[in-house]
Amino acid sequence: MLKSQMTDIVFKTSVAVSAAALVSACSDTSQMGFNATIQDLGNERLELIATVMNHSAEVKTLSNIDIDNGLHKKLDLHLMQGSIGEYIPIDNTISYPINKRLAPGQIYTFRLRGTKAALFITGDIDFIINGDNLSFRSFPVSCCH
């Protein structure tokens, strides 16, 4: 077998193994449900509601909820208790540590309060599962005009 053919086989095998690892890493979210909405509370106030449902037969951990930084700023989002999330520059998000174990069939709801933006805004809410930054699900939300 030629050296170039061997190199090609090794490369294709590496790509296949890497893809399989990525798919298995993301599989933690395959039997879970995710939802995020923005509810108008009146008087220019709003609430971002993020919900996670564990439909699997095993316990999963909702590690973090990461919110697009632009969306977070424009809507002036904050927890009702007043604590703030941590800015993560690598993906330009504000991260809120949750670390909530979800038993099979369990639902968890996370809420942030904010203010309506003058212009239409859109962004993603990322749900990080089992402490693995490759095991997440993004959910788009939009608001206001």
Q: Residue 5's pLDDT is what? A: 47
Question: Is residue 67 a contact partner of residue 85, using CB atoms and an 8 Å limit?
Answer: yes
**Residue pointed to by tokens 């009146």:** 42
Q: Each residue's pLDDT tens digit in the chain (145 positions)? A: 555 444 444 444 444 434 433 443 444 788 899 999 999 999 999 999 999 999 999 999 999 999 999 999 999 999 877 677 899 999 999 999 999 999 999 999 999 999 999 899 999 999 999 988 777 899 999 998 7
What phi-psi label fits residue 89: left (phi over 0), alpha (psi between -120 and 50 degrees) or beta? alpha
Question: Is residue 45 a contact partner of residue 113, using CB atoms and an 8 Å limit?
Answer: yes
Rounded-to-integer distance, Cα 33 and Cα 35, Å? 7
* E strands present in 11-115: 32-42, 45-54, 60-68, 86-88, 93-102, 107-115
- The count of domains in the chain is 1
| Identity of the residue numbered 16 | A
Rounded-to-integer distance, Cα 138 and Cα 44, Å? 26
Q: Residue 6's pLDDT is what? A: 44
Q: Residue 84's pLDDT is what? A: 77
Domain that holds residue 84: 3-143
Shortest CA distance to 129 belongs to which of 36, 33, 40?
A: 33
Specify the 3-state DSSP secondary structure of 42. strand
* Domain at 104, CATH number: 2.60.40.10
Q: Residue 81's pLDDT is what? A: 76
Shortest CA distance to 28 belongs to which of 49, 59, 50, 51?
A: 59
